[in-house]
């Protein structure tokens, strides 16, 4: 049976009384079904996203936007209309430049969502690293070079955090080091991106309950976010050198898995007592941040689905940001607002470095209490700060808004790609 495309338009006219409290009304001529989203006072973009979600839940799988839509309005509609099953078709409208930008955004955030929504069986650490490298190479074959360090070779290079977290799995952990350089061979690195790539997180010996483990395929959302952001920036014609580091591992239980009470001594000499194997993200990011700083980058950005504390603080609509540089926090808020994403700074002071004390090492990787205790997101950021060079500016993004465990009035279940556009904007700077 042929599927007919529904034309969707916006209106600020009141909803006819016969439709009651509905915010979407429907009509049809002889050939074309139509839907009208009626905008009321208040947050119009949020209203549009909710209306798009309603259309998807009604099983309307093929729509074309009609009439006057801004780029931001169309993007919000697309966010609400998206579904992980990809069983739909959305046609943009407006100027050629708007349509081109929307298609680029959809392609790059779609890549991130596809990675995050993939089954953990299909997306091993090596597959994640190779998939990211292949995609970026296809975008810029002459400007991208990379290498993947895997398994025992990680120890030869000093990347003991990624190795420790991933050694419990039969599928090797890996570090992707990728260099995008459209300039001269010896050009300085402007930005280094670091992504947490835990392709499945059982919690290790600090095992998660079943309901907490079900969605842990999303724990590589940071790797997907920074990869997609770099891909979007490249597609827009990025003219500065950027390095990408993806810290990829499966956090599983076996006779070879790392244990509570283990002490890891990192490349920079910092020793870490493992008091919670479910606080593994910061252990792999510690390697990635050191590698990023070794590149000489002036700006280092890491992204990770790192703490439940960030979700508790901000909900699922904002990503938490941390930095010792107040100007960088302000810039990130400005850039996020320009692309209709939400970020919010949480506290990070020097004393946060000492909020996970250990009697046996320089620091512990968490606190040995449920959820890591009060201020868990800031304490995690303080831990990461120990592995950042004072010579660079550093932004840490805790991706509270990058994944929905179940469908909401705004988003379908699964990856949202919230954060991709913000990082891509920062790469313009």
- Which residue among 46, 208, 267, 316 is the active-site one? 208
CA pair distance 122, 220, nearest whole angstrom:
13
CA pair distance 153, 163, nearest whole angstrom:
9
CA pair distance 285, 336, nearest whole angstrom:
23
- Three-state SS at 150: strand
DSSP characters over 160-212: HHHHHHHTTSSSPPEEEEEEE--S-TTPPP-EEEEEEEEEEE--TTSPPPHHH
Nearest Cα to Cα of residue 180 among 247, 114, 226, 221: 226
Query: Would you put residue 82 in left (φ > 0), alpha (ψ -120 to 50) or beta?
Result: beta
CA pair distance 315, 329, nearest whole angstrom:
19
* Beta carbons of 171 and 125 less than 8 angstroms apart: yes
C-alpha dist (Å) from residue 234 to 104, 105, 275, 361: 10, 12, 40, 42
Nearest Cα to Cα of residue 381 among 357, 334, 346: 346
* Beta carbons of 298 and 393 less than 8 angstroms apart: yes
Please, which residues have CB within 8 angstroms of residue 327's CB and are 6 or more apart in sequence?
A: none
Q: Residue 167 catalytic?
A: no
Nearest Cα to Cα of residue 164 among 37, 52, 62, 260: 260
C-alpha dist (Å) from residue 136 to 26, 111, 123, 140, 144: 42, 11, 17, 6, 7
With b for 16 or more beta-carbon neighbours within 10 A and e for fewer, the 384-404 pattern comes to: bbbbbeeebbbbbbbbbbbbb
- Which residue among 76, 171, 282, 367 is the active-site one? 282
Neighbours of 273 (CB within 10 A): 21
The two counts, helices (H) then strands (E), for the chain are 13, 18
Q: What is the largest CA-CA distance in the chain?
A: 77
Q: Residue 282 catalytic?
A: yes
Where in the sequence numbering do the catalytic residues fall?
A: 208, 282
């Amino acid at each position: 049976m042929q599927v007919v495309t529904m034309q969707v338009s916006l209106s600020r006219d009141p909803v006819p009384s016969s439709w009651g409290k509905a915010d979407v009304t429907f009509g049809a001529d002889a050939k074309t079904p139509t839907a009208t989203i009626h905008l009321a006072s208040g947050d119009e973009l949020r209203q549009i996203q909710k209306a798009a979600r309603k259309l998807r839940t009604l099983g309307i799988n093929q729509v074309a936007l009609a009439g006057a839509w801004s780029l931001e309005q169309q993007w919000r509609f697309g966010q609400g209309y998206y579904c992980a099953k990809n069983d739909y078709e959305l046609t943009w409208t407006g100027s050629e430049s708007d349509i081109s930008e929307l298609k680029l955004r959809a392609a790059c955030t779609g890549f991130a969502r596809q990675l995050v929504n993939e089954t953990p069986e299909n997306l091993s650490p090596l597959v994640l690293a190779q998939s990211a490298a292949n995609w970026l190479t296809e975008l810029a074959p002459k400007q991208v070079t990379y290498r993947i360090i895997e398994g025992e070779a990680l120890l030869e290079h000093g990347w003991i955090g990624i190795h420790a977290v991933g050694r419990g799995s039969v599928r090797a952990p890996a570090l992707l080091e990728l260099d995008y350089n459209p300039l001269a061979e010896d050009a300085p690195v402007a930005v280094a991106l670091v992504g947490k790539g835990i392709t499945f997180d059982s919690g290790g010996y600090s095992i998660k309950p079943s309901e907490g483990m079900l969605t842990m395929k999303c724990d590589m959302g940071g790797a997907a976010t920074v990869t997609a952001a770099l891909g979007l920036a490249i597609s827009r014609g990025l003219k500065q050198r950027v390095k990408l580091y993806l810290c990829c591992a499966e956090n599983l239980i076996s006779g070879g898995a790392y244990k509570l009470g283990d002490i890891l001594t990192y490349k920079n000499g910092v020793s870490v007592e493992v008091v919670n194997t479910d606080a593994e993200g910061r252990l792999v990011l510690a390697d990635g941040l050191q590698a990023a700083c070794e590149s000489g980058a002036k700006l280092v950005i890491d992204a990770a689905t790192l703490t439940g504390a960030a979700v508790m603080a901000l909900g699922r609509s904002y990503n938490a940001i941390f930095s010792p540089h107040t100007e960088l926090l302000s810039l990130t808020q400005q850039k996020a607002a320009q692309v209709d994403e939400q970020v919010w700074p949480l506290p990070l002071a020097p004393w946060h470095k000492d909020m996970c004390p250990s009697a046996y090492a320089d620091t512990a990787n968490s606190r040995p209490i449920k959820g890591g205790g009060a201020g868990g997101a800031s304490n995690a950021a303080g831990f990461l700060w120990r592995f950042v060079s004072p010579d660079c500016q550093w932004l840490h993004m805790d991706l509270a808004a990058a994944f929905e465990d179940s469908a909401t009035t705004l988003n379908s279940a699964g990856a949202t790609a919230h954060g991709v556009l913000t990082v891509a904007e920062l790469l313009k700077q």
